[in-house]
Amino acid sequence: MSDVSASTPASSPPPDAAGRRSRRRVNPNLLVGASLVLLIVGMAIVSFFWTPHDPTLVNAATRLQKPSGDYWFGTDKFGRDVFSQVMVGARTTLFVGFVAVGVATAIGVPLGVLGGMVSRGPGEVLMRGNDLLLAFPALLLAIMFAAVYGASTLVAMIAIGIATIPSFARLIRSGTLQVMGTEYVLAARAAGRSPFAIGARHVLPNVSSLVIVQASVSFAIAVLAEAALSFLGFGTPPPTPSWGRMLQESQEMLWSAPRLAVFPGVAIAVAVLGFNLLGDGLRDRFDPKLDDRR
């Protein structure tokens, strides 16, 4: 997998190769990242309709089966099918990621735009407060939330979301500052447009590519945080399958069935790699486009 992302020559031009675009090669990061993300998303969607076995079905007769035609990834110490658990775990991971990134976008983007448009005084204070949040990493915040409200998926999602706000706000602020320095914003101001209209009609559309890239990268962070939280027992409670808890349960079985750690581990790595590569690929894709448009 690592070789693919690095050395795929990616020689074929995009099918819609129109004029100046024809020289642009297919971005390997984007391709691999999108494929991995699609794989995870596909697995999650299919798991709503079909899994090989009931992922939560405890069965003493099928304990610790090796991978076979019947149980593709084998079974765990409770006799549950590992493949089905990995499939449903994708659902849990994506759900937590979506809500966490949603919270971070909904709060971080307006905050960043505001911080960039009101650069002095209150804007400065806003950004200082934002930076302070950086001292509370996602996992620490989530553990604090779990200490107070108890462990649950909702608590994990909100905590991860809040912890992701500052990076969004920072990035969007710097994007906003750039847009605010352009001539079309000056023109809009001269034409008497209200700051709100400038924010909505000029700033937001122009920073939207930043938002998409950051959302993808934040999704990877959310996946990692959710896995760690579930591993520690502060995330998704049983019996809902979750990759982090599967890993935690596998740890005592390392001597007899180390494979139990491999499957959820690979799933986590694939998801994180996918969203990271997707983010990188989108960044490469958006940057030159922004350049030759202006």
Considering only the stretches 79-87, 170-178, 186-194, 257-265, report the one whose residues sit in contact with other proteins under the rule CB under 8 A. Answer: 257-265
Considering only the stretches 70-78, 82-90, 95-103, 268-276, report the one whose residues sit in contact with other proteins under the rule CB under 8 A. Answer: 268-276
> What's the CA dihedral at 211, 43, 277, 26 to 10 degrees?
-100
Binding of other proteins at residue 7 (CB under 8 A)?
Answer: yes
| 81 beta partners | 75
Binding of other proteins at residue 38 (CB under 8 A)?
Answer: no
Half-sphere exposure of residue 88: CA atoms within 13 angstroms, side-chain side: 23
In angstroms, give the least distance from the CB of 12 to other proteins.
19
Binding of other proteins at residue 12 (CB under 8 A)?
Answer: no
Binding of other proteins at residue 156 (CB under 8 A)?
Answer: no
Cβ pair 271, 36 in contact under 8 A: yes
In angstroms, give the least distance from the CB of 80 to other proteins.
19
Residue 290 backbone zone (phi > 0: left; psi -120 to 50: alpha; other: beta): alpha
C-beta of 29 vs 153, nearer to other proteins: 29
Binding of other proteins at residue 135 (CB under 8 A)?
Answer: yes
What are the CA-CA distances from residue 278 to residues 172, 204, 248, 253 (Å)?
Answer: 19, 22, 28, 34
Which token pair is 241? Answer: 């399958």
C-beta of 196 vs 255, nearer to other proteins: 255
How far is 11 from 136, CA to CA, in rounded Å? 44
Binding of other proteins at residue 83 (CB under 8 A)?
Answer: no
Binding of other proteins at residue 224 (CB under 8 A)?
Answer: yes
- One DSSP character per residue, 36-76 reads HHHHHHHHHHHHHH--SS-TT---GGGTTPPS-SSSTT-B-
Interface residues toward other proteins, by CB under 8 A: 1-3, 5-7, 128-129, 131-132, 134-137, 139-140, 143-144, 146-148, 220, 224, 227-228, 231-232, 234, 247, 250-251, 254-255, 258, 261, 265, 268-270, 272-273, 276-277
